[in-house]
Amino acid sequence: MEWHRKIPKKKKNIAWRVIEGEAVLMPSERQAVDRESLEVCNQTGTAIWEAIDGKSTAAEIIKRIVDDYEVNFKKAESDIKSFLGWLAKKDLIEW
């Protein structure tokens, strides 16, 4: 299956908040807050993180970001693919 058709889902064990426009993500099984367990997303990463609703495909997320930020489709596609890959590698989302 092409990655565009996949539906990313936030892992249930992730605690997160948006602070001053940036999403701060932390696996909730970590009792002590240590800097290595925290991940901070920039404004665009936060928009992508918030768009991950467990219902929208990667293609729908790309379209939303392109429409909201008026960015080039190919650039957004490349950046979002990379970001979703990073989130998956960090075990913050599943497909």
Per-domain residue ranges for the chain? Answer: 11-94
- Which pLDDT does position 30 carry in this prediction? 56
In CATH terms, the superfamily for domain 11-94 is Coenzyme PQQ synthesis protein D (PqqD) (1.10.10.1150)
- Which pLDDT does position 29 carry in this prediction? 66
- Which pLDDT does position 27 carry in this prediction? 83
The span from the CA of 29 to the CA of 17, in Å, is 16
**Could you give the maximum distance between any two Cα atoms of the chain, in Å?**
41
The span from the CA of 93 to the CA of 95, in Å, is 7
Chain centre distance of CA 58: 10
pTM of the model: 0.88
- Which pLDDT does position 28 carry in this prediction? 74
User: 6 Cβ partners below 8 Å, 6+ apart?
Assistant: 57, 58, 95
Residues of the chain below pLDDT 50: 31-32
Tokens 């990655």 belong to residue: 3
